[in-house]
Amino acid sequence: MGRGTYDKVVTFESWPYDRCRVLALSTTVRAGDDSRITVVRSTTEAQQLLDADAATGVYVDGGQVLTDFLRLGLIDELTITRAPVILGHGLPLFHDLPHQIRLVHRGTASTGAGMVSTRYVVAHQDQYDC
């Protein structure tokens, strides 16, 4: 997760990632500030750590972190969840990318509370039909 996501998650009443190893990508959080996270300084450092751990099923959160992972071609599946609230302003989910990323729809589900989650597979350049 990125610094902005980390700053939000630490305000939650309980830590939602008790069963997971959490990497926080930040140049300002100090290692050791929070024993629940491992601080890394770059996407490359995160990727190296995940590779060393033979990590699979990695959950990536935070707009800039997600954009960096997309830019490097490290995202295979994307789930976008929307809440039935119009904020009026906010932070972008995705930042500048050097090219379009084609997504293939795999399914959409909603909850009784109106939350909607849509799952996509990322079509890498070599998989485009046209």
Structural domain harbouring 39:
3-127
List pLDDT tens digits, range 61-75: 888 899 999 998 899
Predicted confidence band at 77 (pLDDT cuts at 50, 70, 90)?
Answer: very high
Report the b/e string of 76-110 with b at 16+ CB within 10 A. Answer: eebeeeeeeeeeeeeeeeeeeeeeebeeeeeeeee
Predicted confidence band at 99 (pLDDT cuts at 50, 70, 90)?
Answer: confident
pLDDT at residue 95, as a whole number:
85
Which of 99, 119, 93 has its CA nearest to residue 108?
119
Pairing of strands 22-25, 37-40: parallel
Pairing of strands 116-123, 37-40: unpaired
Domain count, the chain: 1
Predicted confidence band at 79 (pLDDT cuts at 50, 70, 90)?
Answer: very high
Q: For residue 79, give every residue at least 6 positions away whose Cβ sits within 8 Å of its Cβ, in sequence order, or none.
A: 117, 118, 119, 120
Predicted confidence band at 126 (pLDDT cuts at 50, 70, 90)?
Answer: low
Q: What is the mean pLDDT of residues 25-43?
A: 88
pLDDT at residue 39, as a whole number:
93
What CATH code is carried by the domain that includes residue 36? Answer: 3.40.430.10
Prediction pTM value:
0.80
